[in-house]
Structure 1
């Protein structure tokens, strides 16, 4: 797919204890690179899309390693080289009724110290069709919230379709501002939004009641953010750390689409499943713009497959995802 997609976010080093060990007793850690926006971009590149990742990394071996990993998926990169450290997070894989756990170590990382005016957005957005960001970036600092706004203003002026994954992480909003004080001024530029209705008040400063259904909530969102064309939520049922049932709801032009459900009986790694969904949604909207129901089903199938893959990034290609959509399952060996 020749249409250029720009993704903006932090590339992180992920360290995980092997074999479902707890962090405090682990002597070794498996290393992966990822990050919400980078995960989505890498997945899109593996689907054949023309993707450019915008981020910042230190000028050292870890920065070089992280960028090399991103390039290996087929993405192009615009990396600002600054600072001395890459952001890190530790992920403790849960099992059964023991939940997974994330510990962030990303303060003062190269990305978190980016400032407005550092990135030449007009050059980056030249000939681009789509811009994707997430709510994780403005959670990290006031400066990054301003960088996001700078990018969104220019992307909007240049006519790009803009998507956002709310990705509400309460533990990251610790610089004195709440998400609902920052995010509404950024969401107003967006065309496509992925987020749960339980984030309505926390992220969007829109009150809902326990009686509000999807349509009522989405109508409230679109009334406040008139540029929104498509709103999507992913759903999890009967969930523990080892098995989930997942589904999705998509709302566009006052129509609500409910997806099929997937029962995932043995989760290998659920980190990045939402990013796999986001990548699938972007691919689906660009590929089948007149069939958003198919785009939603494609996104959910991509997310389902990510649960079977270790690391942050969905390694499934278009044929794998379409095969699952069309009824293929893991009960056979492909020969």
Structure 2
């Protein structure tokens, strides 16, 4: 039986000016729905895994439209219809040396009205095998951090595999707590973590020396958080807004594995690339539990393909990702 996955987070309306226009130039916007945990849920469902997404949206056309989008991918949304508005973010596509830019408009959203005690997590997790969350949710408010903790305690007690993307967004931590005051208490429940060594102190509160290697840092994380079984990280090299080289690594407590590197030119949309990787590594570890190299290669190929797709969600299929892993990339037409 396929692993049954639950993800938890906010879904946002994304508005982007077309044709790489700046926000100050915009007279119209391309509309998408997404955000970290919703993107992961949609990718995993597209890969054929049963996925539930827990969230809150307003009882209006935008709320219904966001849930319909998730259902179109095969995700089962469990949404609390409350509050008055769907959170929004505006994304200005960068080009060449001009970076992209995000402007958030998500305060007082429906998701922000969720509180500890509102969700029956035991019922939610009853038939689940895996729970995924990200650092975005606890960054939004102390109340959502407490709700996230409540979910993790129940998931852990029920024996679910738990994964997290640190997803450190400094602009979101505005309620008087630093990430390293909140995140360690949550990460202690995780089996799989996506993050970078630069986040060691500011997110996890784990000291790091400038000379420490990735293997040293991740090994130290496992000492601080002994439940961790795998730590993975993505790497961008020679990067500007239009072209990147991407690769990834995974530390399994014994060895640090490195993926192949992909050179990506003419980037269409890099938003959601980390979520595409997160979905890929979850799928990879479920599909090849004893072959971490294969899982890693699947995940980095998934994130590579996401850069060619507009919107937050990776539309690449398992077959397309496997084809890229096998060397059938390069823009050849599939006939």
TM range (shorter): over 0.9
Q: Which runs of 5+ in 2 are unaligned?
A: none
Paired position in structure 2 for 1:131: 131
Question: Contact 2:219/2:253 (CA < 8 Å) preserved in 1?
Answer: no
Secondary structure in 2 matching 1:78: strand
- Provide Cα deviations, 1:282-315, integer angstroms capped at 9, x if missing partner: 0000000000110011000000000000000000
1:147 lines up with 2:125 in the alignment: no
CA-CA distance at 1:82 after TM superposition = 0.6
Q: Which runs of 5+ in 1 are unaligned?
A: none
4+ residue runs over 2 A deviation: none
| Structural mapping, 1:125-274, within 5 Å | 125-274=125-274
CA distance in 2, matches of 1:250, 1:4: 23
Please give the secondary structure, in 2, of the residue aligned with 1:289.
coil
Q: Distance in 1 between matches of 2:242 and 2:222?
A: 35
CA RMSD in angstroms comes to 0.7
2:27 is matched with which residue? Answer: 27
Q: Distance in 1 between matches of 2:130 and 2:171?
A: 29
**Alignment TM-score, normalising by the size of structure 1:** 0.99
Distance between the aligned counterparts of 1:234 and 1:252, measured in 2?
Answer: 15
Find the residue that maps to 2:113 and give its secondary structure: coil
1:6 aligned residue: 6
How many residues are aligned here? Answer: 335
Report how far residue 157 of structure 1 moved.
Answer: 0.3
Which residue does 1:280 correspond to in 2? 280
- The aligned counterpart of 1:61 is 61
Match of 1:95?
95
Measure, in 2, the Cα distance between the counterparts of 1:130 and 1:138: 19
Aligned-partner SS, 1:324: helix
What's the CA shift for 1:330? 3.0
**Residue 81 of structure 1 pairs with residue 71 of structure 2:** no
Q: 1:265 deviation in Å?
A: 1.0
- How far apart are residue 253 of structure 1 and its match? 2.6
TM-score, structure 2 length as denominator? 0.99
**CA distance, structure 2, for counterparts of residue 77 and residue 198 of structure 1:** 34
